[in-house]
Amino acid sequence: MNYNNFSKSILKWYSLNKRDLPWRYKDNSKKDPYKIWISEIMLQQTTVTAVIPYYIKFITKWPNIEKLSNANIDEILDFWSGLGYYRRAKNLHLTSKIINKEYNNIFPKEEDQIKNLPGIGEYTSAAIRAIAFNKDDTVVDSNIERIVARVFQIKEPIIRAKKKIKERAKKLTPNKKNGDYAQALMDIGSMICLPKNPKCNACPILKFCEAKKNSNENIIPIKIKKKVKPVREGYVYWIISSDNKVLLKRRLDKGILPGMLEFPSYGWSTDGNEEIDKKVLSIKDFKRKKGKVSHQFSHFNLLLTVYEKKEFNVNDINGMWVDKKDLSNLGLPTLMKKVFNHINT
């Protein structure tokens, strides 16, 4: 394969077909590493469609590293509600404080400096350096892994072929316009080289693809049957005071949904959060709500049984009492939004 022609074909396609995304720049001289970093963190395990509105609001609220470093972590976590994987938000805040203190609010360029920042691994570091600073780091995300596996017809599951894929991808990486090249591959993976039924006729690198030549484009990457997730069950408590306020608490700054607001819950989390709920468990005469709230986490599925208690005396228990009408304006995580909807059906 002529690697130079491969990257030229991709860059030519990108100049005509690239997606219009709010973190991309028409003028490369105006690239802001801060905004590229924010977008890359948000895009971890989250779709572009879901990220765009969050990104726009985030950048409007915290337009630079200094403002983010001075923000309150609870405000950031509440803003993050709905994006999931809340550790990302905590790491953004921690990293902004480090860059503020150690780098005078200037995002570092060196690979070892970037990798030492919280929440930034090999892929994110490579993406930031390639896109923001046009370094020739090899960027390999899940979309690019799929493209490389098909181009070289790698007949192994991706999980077992990551080293081989990275080696092949490194050979393809150009030493010029690598930021555009990496983003082009991401776009091709999202728009053309799809996991199922790829749109090969629209692909700018069709002539380089060994899987297509051998009619294996729907077989590669080789898939491994996913393990069935375990199911956990627990309880959540909807407690309303006599003046129509709802009891909330903020979870501990660790474990699942770290630092997030929730209706008191019990029985499903093993990270220390449940110690806060002992007073709630002592309340008598709860009414059980029909049905259960289901939610998927990355490593398990959750079923919550909902219990209600109305006309409760707020003096009997400490907590965060919020007007029921204001709940929709709070940064509740998706799981608690489901509980809220379940209560009101």
Give catalytic residue positions.
40
Work out the widest C-alpha separation in the chain, in whole angstroms.
75
Element holding 247 (H helix, E strand): strand 245-250
What are the DSSP calls for 64-132, one per residue? SHHHHHTS-HHHHHHHHTTT--THHHHHHHHHHHHHHHHSTT----SHHHHHTSTT--HHHHHHHHHHH
Q: Which of 26, 1, 33 is nearest to 135 (CA)?
A: 33
Distance separating alpha carbons of residues 164 and 179, to the nearest angstrom: 22
Residues 297, 227: contact at Cβ < 8 Å?
Answer: no
**Dihedral sign computed on CA atoms, order 321, 325, 331, 335:** positive
Distance separating alpha carbons of residues 140 and 151, to the nearest angstrom: 14
Query: Collapsing DSSP states into helix, strand and coil, what is residue 320?
Result: strand
For residue 314, list its beta bridge partners: none
Residues 236, 339: contact at Cβ < 8 Å?
Answer: yes
Element holding 245 (H helix, E strand): strand 245-250
What are the DSSP calls for 261-299, one per residue? EE--EESS--SSGGGGGHHHHT----EEEEEEEEEE-SS
Residues 304, 231: contact at Cβ < 8 Å?
Answer: no
- Angle ∠(196,84,342) on CA atoms, nearest 5: 100
